[in-house]
Chains A and B, each alone.
Chain A
């Protein structure tokens, strides 16, 4: 009783005015404003908010992981080309309302007073935005995460041109600063990629510029050549020490999302992978995939898959639903990505091998890359083998490079396809075959970065992956050799700014469907 009386009294003794209102209305668990000390935290956030960390299954697992041909997804309906519009809204938000706002906050804070942080943030923005535009096509780049009432979409060409420029100026600023201060560091430990080493960010930027140049080589060859040669004039990711790999050891939630796929048994070896890796007797197979675990094979499985135990076996992309029951009799993604390793195994963004294959393609196109296509091709293979198998002797690497083995017919019940293609590893004299070899070996070396692999597959239609066996999507007709070539716009964007999305569709040059090719993809898709 006393208690309630006391309260009544206290209430009326309390200052009967509004002096404390602003204090009451202050959020104690949030920051009210940002300062320079928050730059690191913002950068970590923008690094750690990719599909590799969050939304892996939605953003990669059910899209690029199987469309790239690396994996067959055990998530049947998505493997059969279904698009989940609700998930698209989620993955769009991964970039635009999670990773990019943190990055744009850095750009806003540092534009005037910290050009080094600004430039590194800009390089990372270009990397993320390339992934975004290569999924959807025209997207907001300049206005991205700007908080403006209307966020303008830009054509993919404009985005590429803007990014070339932004990368060039960032590299220029950083090189100047680095000359004055050779050990220049930014963001320190918060930079989970390069630990703040600015020189490595320059390499990253130039490699990205080269990658972008190659991407537009079919649609805008002059600009491509110009940008590629400019990029190669600077430092690139040339050694495996420079690889762009995001450390996950201090991440407490997020981490390497591919580990979740291991846990869910969602990503298994594709038949295309089986044909290539087994055919080439590729030393990377044991890293990339697991042998089939006999414990996963139920007594009721048909004899044709029972024999898979202990070997590497892939499943055909687009398998028919009825075979979903036997997926456990196939090779799961490698132990490097097993579930416990989500905060151990780093996330792969760019490997040095890719730089070589990009240069090889440039040289093959006749651009000045500082060497021959074969030179870069073989260097690329060597770097990739050393990256994944440091135990390999130089001899066995040389044997692989000179191998004339060709892909084999996969043991893929019930389809039993022929070998995927007939090219060996050994560099061919035939120009067409050379091109196929460069792209095919690049495809193997980029693994498991399926977003890049899918983009390159759409650009080159290489490697010659097996077509999907079944499509549950009426927009993707297998009879017309159609493939999914982009991701449709999210409902969230269509609902909130329909006019801008309408303009974007116009810039896209086709309907907002998963079958419309992007600007740099010059292939007809079924029409």
Chain B
């Protein structure tokens, strides 16, 4: 209900706004006021367009038509036109709000003498796009005749007196023109496709410069937006999974619930300690991917998901440094370029897109349901283990004091969960005259994960204005506002408040109805946790963990940008652009009294505020000129930029509350506050020159010089790139089979600065003790930093066959990162934990293949398919002098240790394993237990996949469209901490081994004789399992290979005959429907519980695996 109220309110607001802007012109729609003399007819018509809501179309070249004088006061448009046009030998026809200007002779088809021999019929129909939206204003002409019409607002047209064998040509800007033969039919509906494939494809490249894809010397890949707006994850990053070659996406929503962040890696990891994720650019302005509030072990969201997918026109991924050289160091890991929607001239459209999906949980770890609570085969009602007796219905006194039967409770964990949901409604409005366009949208999202308290509320507003201020000076302005509220995201991993961590360890005989009574009140009115082992510092009632540790977080984000572009000539422009990105985060962490582990049961309260301000200003001068009849062409851009980022944050902690559950710092037991602040400014000058020969051979150069405040004087570094493109199919005559052949190659260097204030040794100070504590920072700062540098090569080819029905895009790349700023661990005995050094050479080599095809294209049936494949081979060529290996930071309490080892790929995982003799037999110790390595010396594998692929298909038949995406990622390993904890606590199926009679570990004693010592399953499992670090990690290693039906959508374009509704599309959608294969069994290998660390591969307390099912409704008014 509330949702609809908000929507209604927003609609009212929105119309009020638009009407306010447009009020004047609407009221005068047919009351013209003109006083012009000696002008071009075209200018008069422009003026009429300005004053009315009519639009002119003309099949006549009007350039030479001039009007001596036209004067009108409060005249109707027809009067004016009737007065003016006949003198010029012109006539007009009004179709709805469109006015077609034509030669006077064409006025009445009846008088036409051509084609008189043929039978004449009347033809009518409707022109729509692929998604079923009507296309108003499309031209429909009869081939060979100087006659035609324009579709009206609902996309329909009608032509009279058409020769029965005529061919109609349908065209619209940005769409592929289509011809259709009448063949005696009187109804002819046509679907126009957007001009996406084809040599004229325009892509947005670095700095927002639009370029013809055929001239690019590097690989880019575009995402089909219709997929993103029908089947969607709450995280935009997650929605891209499987769609892009060379792009790996790990999401955290599998462990941290709704709104979880994504970790996106393009073409492999480059940096050992630094950021490996790409730069995000929205409409030419870098967009902060900042995670917002970050309390320990609470998930953070990502900035990427702040973009409303419904506002996105296109997403283009620049994968290599060649593509991103102009963006500089920030783009070292590639760039995701997002172009958002603008209003379209000549149309007015209101669109409503509603997505309703439900998450159905179905994948759980394997639990045992045979042995109950207790230890040593004894029932112990306050035990945290399931090492008790076999459950046979025997009478016991349970933790609540009741006498009950000891029976399995197979669903005590499943009962905890609810179905997640995601409701997203977007209302967008676009309208435009020839010179001014407006786009407005409002979107709201209500989502919940499988945990009841884990909810997300999101509102996005977007307003875009494009106008020509004075002739040739164009303004492009946008403002977006986001309000994002997370009610409570669950704590992740192996932690006290992680509900999943409690649930997997909880004894198997506990009853849901007892657990649900998670608290009670003492006679004094004090709230107490109802728990089976009072005062435990390890576990708690999972319901209490869910309801009594609450972390609300709010994000407000405002982005503004404006661009002024002046066209000095048709080949020269100058552009000035400013962008501002303001991010405000505000979060709280409330822990209720009676969590013994937290401040001795006095609960806690923390607040965190931070604000990010990113300002960007740049100028560009662009030249685009051809000489000697297209023999040579020059495309050049010169520019400069200042980027300024400021951050300020404050965290306050209560360290316990003096008054029960009063969540304010006023009740802090010992308040503590800390501030953080940073500022980075970068100034840059850059240029790009492309020389073209006969429009089939291009050479590109780019150069950029940065001055970065994080470096010591003189602050600067320079980097160039060079590329070459040849369109073979235009150079030589190729067999018919090939419709397009292009080869490309490039080389780029990119430099990088340091982190904020990382070149000085500093000392910290905290409030503590009588005068405060002062201490040296434990990171040793170097005195002689030099900028980091990446050198990369890329070569590729684009081949199209059979009239573009089949296209293959192949890319090979190699990149090396040198002088990497690396934070290396130093001997702690030196007084420092780590030190920054310039070191390393990390290489990524790989191939990417994208195959797109249209295997079937019949009149009413269209099958399109797209296959992407990528393989990245990473190698750490060199670390530092005297350093062979370096430990990469991993998620807290993950089983695998991640290493960068010279000569091996990045991300090698090691753990503790059994000690084995030369024959590979496990060695047992004096008590019959397997010996476990004292350090993580056992190699497990690498967390990266060997190769990844995605296979997308779409079928369109009449009004139906079916699409699905299957992905297959091969290779790599993952380690499950959940399984380790379950084994320790005796809750997993694996813990059943040797339960009754004990077991003899298969192995040998230290003297080589076979082991014959019987040990209990409990002791054995508790040695192997438990917390990461003290367990035998090798037992919990899994292959990460997986393949799943990632997305599925079945859409139907509902044929509506209504003046109000122009089109209606209904789809059934699904995500992550099922696995064809999953090497990890019950958990998702593409999920992570910490997106912020470079060491991946760990699983810990994953939420149950879900499939998402739902509906999508798109209505255009």
Contact = CB atoms under 8 A, between A and B. Distances in A.
B670 A343 contact: yes
B683 A325 contact: no
A192 B833 contact: no
A497 interface: yes
Contact of A8 (B577, B713, B828, B1019): B577
A16 B580 contact: no
Interface in A151-194: 151, 153, 189-190, 192
Contacts of A262: 600
Nearest to B398: A300
B581 to A, nearest CB: 11
Contacts of B776: 101-102, 105
Contacts of B889: none
Contact of A145 (B644, B715, B831): B831
A98 interface: yes
Contacts of A298: 381-382, 399
Given A8-B577, A29-B676, A140-B829, A101 B769 contact: no
B181 interface: no
Interface of A: 1, 3-5, 7-12, 14, 16, 18, 20-22, 24-34, 38, 40-42, 44-45, 47-48, 77, 82, 84-86, 89, 92-93, 96-98, 100-102, 104-105, 139-140, 143-151, 153, 189-190, 192, 250-254, 259-260, 262-266, 296, 298-300, 320-322, 324-325, 328, 339-340, 342-343, 471-472, 474-475, 477, 479, 488, 490-497, 500
B706 to A, nearest CB: 11
Contact of A18 (B670, B709, B1023): B709
- The 7 A-B pairs at the shortest CB distance, nearest first, are namely A474-B925, A145-B831, A11-B617, A8-B578, A322-B376, A41-B774, A339-B600
Contact of B537 (A7, A190, A266): A266
A353 B808 CA distance: 86
A474 B601 contact: no
Contacts of B1081: none
Contacts of A102: 773-776
28 contacts: A3-B580, A8-B577, A8-B578, A8-B617, A11-B578, A12-B576, A12-B619, A29-B676, A30-B757, A31-B762, A32-B760, A44-B771, A45-B774, A48-B769, A97-B778, A102-B773, A145-B829, A147-B831, A151-B827, A190-B771, A252-B670, A264-B597, A300-B382, A322-B376, A339-B600, A492-B827, A494-B935, A495-B887
Nearest to B601: A263
B642 to A, nearest CB: 5
Contacts of B1030: 77, 82, 84, 86
Nearest to A501: B827
Given A4-B562, A253-B655, 12 more contacts: A1-B465, A1-B477, A8-B564, A25-B756, A29-B674, A44-B773, A100-B831, A102-B775, A144-B829, A266-B537, A325-B383, A339-B600
B22 interface: no
B935 A28 contact: no
B828 to A, nearest CB: 5
Contacts of A149: 826, 830
Given A147-B832, A251-B768, A321-B1018, A497 B600 contact: no
A77 B401 CA distance: 29
Interface in B363-377: 374-376
Contact of B831 (A97, A190, A321, A492): A97
A81 to B, nearest CB: 11
A11 B615 contact: yes
A340 B934 CA distance: 38
Contacts of A143: 829-830
A324 B397 contact: no
A299 B192 CA distance: 78
A147 B769 CA distance: 26
A84 to B, nearest CB: 5
A252 B829 contact: no
Q: Interface centre among B382, B675, B771, B887, by most A CB within 10 Å?
A: B771
Interface in B802-855: 825-833
B562 A85 contact: no
A265 B538 CA distance: 11
B560 interface: yes
B523 interface: no
A41 B771 contact: yes
B378 A322 contact: yes
A125 to B, nearest CB: 12
Given A31-B763, A252-B768, A493 B774 contact: no
Contacts of A26: 757, 760
Nearest to A74: B537
Contacts, number: 297
B596 interface: yes
Contact of A25 (B397, B709, B714, B768): B709
A254 B764 CA distance: 17
B1014 to A, nearest CB: 16
Nearest to B678: A27
Contacts of A265: 535, 537, 596
Interface in B867-919: 885, 887
B681 A21 contact: yes
A4 B477 contact: yes
Q: Interface centre among A24, A262, A296, by most B CB within 10 Å?
A: A24
A96 B579 contact: no
B308 interface: no
B774 A34 contact: yes
Interface string B761-783: 01111011111111111101000
A14 B773 contact: no
A41 B925 contact: no
Nearest to A41: B774
B827 A496 contact: yes
Q: Interface centre among B674, B707, B760, B775, by most A CB within 10 Å?
A: B775
Interface string B268-288: 000000000000000000000
Contacts of A479: 926
A507 B468 CA distance: 82
Contact of B596 (A151, A263, A342, A343): A263
Given A97-B778, A190-B769, A324 B829 contact: no
B837 to A, nearest CB: 11
Contacts of A85: 934-935, 1029
B833 A264 contact: no
Contact of B829 (A3, A105, A151): A151
A355 B367 CA distance: 58
Contacts of B147: none
A328 B535 contact: yes
B175 interface: no
B768 A42 contact: no
Nearest to A31: B763
Contacts of A139: 829
A148 B674 CA distance: 31
Contact of B763 (A30, A192, A325, A472): A30
B683 A321 contact: no
